[in-house]
Amino acid sequence: MQAALTLRAPRPEDGPRVTRLIADCPPLDPNSAYCNLLQCTHFAATCILAEREGEAALLGWISAYLIPESPDKLFLWQVAVTPSARGKGLAGKMLERLLARPGLHGVRYLVTTITPDNDASWAFFRGFAARHGYLISERPLFEKERHFAGRHETEWELTIGPLSAVHSIPEGGQQHEQA
């Protein structure tokens, strides 16, 4: 029997596992260990991870934050799912659980950026919007030459929403579910 899947907010000691997961999920940009540690502390209320009891490695991770000038917009920074857990809907489960947190009930829009070659992210976000009947808009935000001096592909901004006013999955403490 497979151990229960836990979806929960990160803790400081999760920082090294987050760093390893992101490193194992190209084309995601590998953040510094310090950045991941800050996400696991200062931004824990807007981040979520997936793990199985007894397994050292994380199965999934979403880092996000409320945009300071627009607190009704949740910026999804990174979505990472270990290769062995892909294709099972884990990213969608994590995002649904994250949006169900009481502190995020005011979120009306999801915002993210994606490079043109990141097919998995395009499929995930377009699929999420389609499943929920949400509108999606796309525009170049950070351009290769203008913002990255030719060293990074253009980042396209996707905005999804408006989201439903109430999210249906209860959040409280650790959440366990069979996957």
* 41-66 confidence digits (pLDDT tens): 999 999 999 999 888 899 999 999 99
Whole-angstrom distance, CA of residue 91 vs CA of residue 172 = 19
Q: What is the pTM of this model?
A: 0.88
Give the tens place of pLDDT for each residue, 146-162: 999 999 999 999 999 99
Half-sphere exposure in the Cβ direction for 70 (13 Å, CA):
10
DSSP 8-state symbol, 177: E
Token representation of residue 60? 């999934």
Per-residue pLDDT, 38: 95
User: What pLDDT score was predicted for residue 56?
Assistant: 87
How many Cβ atoms from other residues are within 10 Å of residue 74's Cβ? 26
Q: Which two tokens stand for residue 122?
A: 């395009």
pLDDT of 27 = 86
The parts of the chain modelled with pLDDT lower than 50 are 166, 168-179
pLDDT of res. 165: 59
| Per-residue pLDDT at 1 | 60
pLDDT at 172: 42
> Which of 166, 83, 171, 161 minimizes the C-alpha distance to 125?
161
pLDDT at 29: 87
